[in-house]
Amino acid sequence: MRVVILNNDFRVYWKDRLFFLKQYLATRKIEFYAIELFGKGSPYAFDVYNNNEQWWACLFPEKSAAEISPKDVWEALSSALFAINPDVIIAPSIVFYPGALGIRWAKKNNKKFIMFDDAMAGQVKRQFIVQWIKNLITKQADGFWLPSPNYLAGYAYLGPTKLLFFYGFNCIDNQRFKAGSSNPMNHKTIICVARLVPIKNIDALIKAWAKIEAAETGYKLLIVGTGPTYNNLTHLAAALHLTTVEFLGTVPNEQLAAYYHKADAFILPSFSESWGLVVNEAMAAGLPVLLSDNINAAHCLLKEGENGFTFNARSTQDIENAILKFIQLGAASKMQMSLNSLKEVDKLNYEKMGVQLTDALVKIHAQKTKYTGVLAWIMINRWNGRYNTKGWDN
């Protein structure tokens, strides 16, 4: 069997997944290829990668989506797919170029199509007609690769179906972040790792932290990351006369685990996260987590009171209360939370991802090709997808 995975780009977390899957699937006699569309314009442009793998291609390494017409993207992708001739295509939601064009190529060439998505249906508001078209095209997929079973409710519109749903792609290399010994949980430090953009809601965290500092808890807050709101946030901390908030800027990925190991808990106050893989990182490092209830990873990985606490991102009081609840725990309770985080995050790992994907590929490859109705066929051939990442920041 020959399989290709498509995406706008494969930066940050996807890179390690691809290398693992290439090796893992080869042991199952499955050829694996990767195609990314754009080398420029990614929200994760800070992650520079010079790709030299023969099985992994970037179609427009020196251009962004804004510089290329949908027609040119389609022609380049079609050519690359014909050269590989895959049995199964894996691609993101059809709202994006690789999903929309990937399912078009699959249907035109009698191939199978798997869609992966980590955005819950209710988190994205669309006009009725736009949502109807998206649903119609999405229904033509042969399988869905989701982060966890709690995403399944968002696919109720498919009705009774024999479509295959499987899970687990939102995982990281847990071993990379694990400490060599248990965390003593006495650093009196809480860490936040995030791109500094409005949707991460770091200003509310800083305002809440002003109350934590005033309560003389002895704790400090480390903020790792950079972005367009960096200056505003440092100015806010200065205006509030905070002395226990430290901005570390960008930290190289290979050094990040060391900073987690010097903290006692992780916090992320985002207004929205389609998943939030920094949560996996923090938990793999043995940290209890304090998370906004708008973070999808929280609904899968956080067990309230067992390995952390959730809060309302729109309430600085609620953020403050969650932090204080953790700080006021005894040493033994904090240590147990650390152990619970390690246990929970180990439910999502590369090996389990490989097993689930392999099982799904074998089943889908063996199925009959799905019939596509005339209306769906028309929509698939008219819809090109797009590259709109504004919602990732604001």
Mean pLDDT value across the chain: 93
Residue 155 pLDDT: 85
**Which one of 1.20.1440.80, 3.40.50.2000, 3.10.20.30, 1.10.3720.10 gives the CATH number of domain 174-345?**
3.40.50.2000
Cβ 90 vs Cβ 5: under 8 Å: yes
Q: Give this prediction's pTM.
A: 0.93
Task: Count CB neighbours of 11 within 10 A.
Answer: 18
Q: Distances from the Cα of 97 to the Cαs of 56, 68, 89, in angstroms?
A: 18, 11, 14
Mean pLDDT of 126-147: 88
Name the residue with tokens 């490989």.
354
Q: Distances from the Cα of 207 to the Cαs of 203, 211, 239, in angstroms?
A: 6, 7, 10
Q: Distances from the Cα of 183 to the Cαs of 38, 119, 179, 283, 354, in angstroms?
A: 41, 33, 8, 12, 30
Name the residue type at position 237.
A
Residue 380's region, left for phi above 0, alpha for psi from -120 to 50, else beta, is: alpha
User: Does the pLDDT at position 49 exceed 70?
Assistant: no
The share of the chain scoring above pLDDT 90, in percent, equals 81
Confidence at 31, pLDDT banded by 50, 70, 90: very high
- pLDDT digit string, tens, across residues 145-192: 999 998 988 888 787 667 899 999 999 999 999 988 888 999 999 999
- pLDDT digit string, tens, across residues 268-319: 999 999 999 999 999 999 999 999 999 999 999 999 999 999 999 999 999 9
User: Does the pLDDT at position 392 exceed 80?
Assistant: no
SS3 assignment, position 117? coil
Confidence at 12, pLDDT banded by 50, 70, 90: confident
Q: What are phi and psi of 238, to 5 degrees?
A: -70, -40
- CA 12 to CA 66: how far, in whole Å? 21
User: Does the pLDDT at position 82 exceed 90?
Assistant: yes
Residue 133 pLDDT: 86
The answer to whether the Cα torsion of 195, 196, 200, 204 is positive or negative is positive
Mean pLDDT of 334-340: 97
Residue ranges matching CATH 3.40.50.2000 in the chain: 2-171+349-392, 174-345
Residue 391 pLDDT: 60
User: Does the pLDDT at position 386 exceed 70?
Assistant: yes
Mean pLDDT of 61-81: 95
- CA 145 to CA 357: how far, in whole Å? 8
Range list of H helices, 85-120: 97-108
2-171+349-392 fold:
Rossmann fold (3.40.50)
Range 302-305, long-range pairs (CB < 8 A, 24+ positions):
302/344, 303/340, 303/344
Residue 201 CB partners (closer than 8 Å, separation 6+): 269, 270, 271, 292, 313
Q: Distances from the Cα of 81 to the Cαs of 76, 87, 97, 191, 197, in angstroms?
A: 9, 10, 14, 43, 36
